[in-house]
Amino acid sequence: MVSLETDIGGLRLSHPTLMGSGCYGSGDEFAPFVDQTAIGAIVLKSVTRLPRLGNPTPRLVRTPAGMLNAIGLQNPGIDWYVERELPKYAGRACPLVGSVAGFSVDDYAYVCERLAADDAIAAVELNISCPNVASEGETFACDPALAAKVVKTARTTTDKPLIVKLSPNVTDIAAVAVEVESAGADALAVINTVRGMGIDVETWRPRLGNVTGGLSGPAIRPIAVLAVYEVARAVTIPIVGQGGIETVTDALEFFLAGAAAVAIGTANFTDPRTPERIANGLRDYLQQRGIASIREIVGKANVGLADAHEYEGDEG
């Protein structure tokens, strides 16, 4: 009997597939179509201290092999969320992971404490790809010391697993990973979206209302696999690999690079049964090779980077 069980920093999952934040709601919308007992966990949409209306429209733009989004963290704020939303989530078929966003270190601590105190929340993801209003808008995830400060402060508010979502928009993602691990992170989500933009050649205007946005989908998968590969060699805590996963082969790349679980995001918009397909495919892959557990293949292709040429890539 093949086991797909995994452990993400103390969050035990029956399946190694999480649904990415903002891509699966709370699961209600997909319940008529998907057996949610076959899902590892659902990461809820990020919530902030105060309500946010989000960015001006358009917020979504289709791109070749991907999608640009600039939602702007639209949410009702933590007070409404705890009072009106979380009570609906009791008794779900799979664990729920709350997601915290903020614009100051104190924001993260406050919202993390409020979310984690609810029994419906099994773990908390820290979305640190937000600007720090106290530091000229510098993104938390782009400064190792600032990222660590967020994690250290949030750590004091809860004993539940903390998963920190890292940004690929940095020079050295492994350096950030090391700092947040030292600050108390239990696991890492690698990676968030890649910054991008599109321009309408008829109007001569950016296609997103926010001008810039985050690119997701298969177009970023090679970037995400490399990030997991590099981070896995730098830290000892589990990694949730994410970025453009649509098939079981895509997911396997992340496990072999060093991820203990994968998160599926954009693919859910076109096929909500993607998590089941991938779980079944992983089981078949392991059975065909006589492998008893998904944990046995984690990092098996990760042999590191031998020299500067491998690190930088072949410039041909």
CA 30 to each of CA 120, 163, 262, 272: distance values in angstroms, whole numbers, following the listed order: 19, 24, 19, 7
Q: What is the pLDDT of residues 218-241, one digit of tens each?
A: 999 999 999 999 999 999 999 999
**Which distant-in-sequence residues (6+ apart) come within 8 Å of 123 by Cβ?**
8, 9, 10, 11, 41, 95, 97, 98, 160, 161, 162, 163, 186
| Among 23, 94, 112, 130, the one annotated catalytic | 130
Listed in sequence order, the DSSP H helices in 168-292 are 173-182, 221-232, 248-257, 267-270, 274-288
Q: Are 190 and 239 in contact (CB under 8 A)?
A: yes
pLDDT score for 109: 97
The low-confidence residues of the chain, meaning pLDDT below 50, are: none
pLDDT score for 150: 97
Q: How many CA atoms lie within 13 A of 23 on its CB side?
A: 30
Q: Cα-Cα-Cα-Cα dihedral of 130, 135, 136, 140, to 10°?
A: -20
pLDDT score for 315: 62
pLDDT score for 15: 97
The whole-angstrom separation of Cα 282 and Cα 285 is 5
- Nearest Cα neighbor of 42 from 263, 237, 210 is 263
How does the average pLDDT of the chain come out, rounded?
94
Active site residue 23: no
- Nearest Cα neighbor of 279 from 43, 44, 13, 98 is 13
pLDDT score for 316: 60
Q: What is the pLDDT of residues 156-192, one digit of tens each?
A: 999 999 999 999 999 999 999 999 999 999 999 999 9
pLDDT score for 296: 98
